[in-house]
Amino acid sequence: MSKKWHIAVGSRRGPKVNAVTDAMSAIAPLLGLDTAPTVTGYEVESGVGHTPVSREELMLGARQRVEALREKLCAADCPADFYVGVEGGLDVVGQNGPKRVFLESWAYVSDGKRGHFGCSGSIEVPEALADEVLSRGTELATAIDRFAGAAGIRDGQGAWGVLSRNLISRQESFRLAVLAAFAPFYNAAMYRVAAAAQG
C-alpha cells in the first residue's frame, strides 16, 4: 500500500486551497504518486500587508506563509510532504514615465529542505482601482467589490475574474503559480542538468 502524501496550504480560502488541489491532480503523476495527495488548508499569517503592493512583498508573503505553516505543523508533530504559500496582490512597474500596476499571483512551495517560487502572470489594473488601493489604502478585496458592485468577490472569481471577464479566475491564477513553483520538484532532472551546465 502506497503512502498518502499530505500537502499543506497556508490559507483556508477556497480559491487558494482549490487551486492547489487542482494543480496537484496534474503534478501527482509527475512526482510518481499513484493516488492524489490530501490537500489541507491552515490559517497562518503572511506577515505582509492585506494587499501586497510589490513583487518583493508578494514573494515574501508567500514564503512567510510556508515558514509559519511548517513551524505550526512540526510543533504539532504532523509535518507535511509539501508546504504551499500563495499570495495575490499588486506589482507597480515604472514604464517610460507613468507607472503601471499589475495584479499578480505568487506561490512558494517547500518540501521542508528547499523551496521554489512560481508566478501566474499579470493583468493590468485600471488606474482608478489601483489608486483606491495604493493611495487610499483600501484592501483590494473591498475595492474590487465596490468597483464591480458585488460582495465577496475574492472568495469566487476574484479580481482576476472581474478584470478578465471571467476568462481567468482567481483560482486559475493561483493554480498556474503553484504549477510553476512545483516545477523544480516534478521536473528535477531538468533542473539538475541546468545546474550542472552552470557549474
137 compared with 156, residue with greater pLDDT: 137
What is the per-residue pLDDT for 136? 92
Angle (nearest 5°) at CA 11 between 34 and 4: 20
Averaged pLDDT of the chain: 92
Q: Tens digits of per-residue pLDDT, 78-112?
A: 999 999 999 999 999 986 678 899 999 999 999 99
Residues 6 or more apart whose Cβ sits within 8 Å of residue 122:
91, 102, 103, 104
Give this prediction's pTM: 0.92
pLDDT band at 195 (very low <50, low <70, confident <90, very high): low
| Confidence (pLDDT) at 155 | 78
**Residue of 129, 127, 121, 120 whose CA lies nearest to 100:** 127
For cell 552552470, the residue is 198
Whether the CB-CB separation of 64 and 32 falls below 8 Å is answered with no
CA distance 45 to 42: 10
Contacts of 160 (CB under 8 A, 6+ apart): 103, 105, 123, 168, 169, 170, 172, 173
Q: Which residue has the cell 541546468?
A: 194
Q: Over 50: is that where the pLDDT of 49 sits?
A: yes
Give the tens place of pLDDT for each residue, 11-37. 999 999 999 999 999 999 999 998 889
Q: What is the pLDDT of residue 34?
A: 86
Structure-derived torsion over alpha carbons of residues 148, 149, 150, 153, reported in degrees to the nearest 10? 20
Which residues pair with residue 199 across a beta bridge? none
Question: What does the domain layout of the chain look like in residue ranges?
Answer: 6-198
For the cut 50, the answer to whether the pLDDT of residue 2 exceeds it is yes
Cα 168–27–1 angle (5° rounding)? 140
Q: Which residues contact 93 (CB under 8 A, 6 or more apart)?
A: 99, 100, 101, 102
pLDDT band of residue 1 (cuts 50, 70, 90) is very low
User: Which pLDDT does position 154 carry in this prediction?
Assistant: 79
Element (H, E) at 143: helix 140-148
Tell me how far the alpha carbon of residue 135 is from its chain's centroid. 25
As a whole number, mean pLDDT of residues 158-181 equals 95
Partner residues linked to 101 by β-bridges:
92
DSSP structure class, residue 112 = S
**Could you tell me the fold of the domain covering 6-198?**
Maf protein (3.90.950)
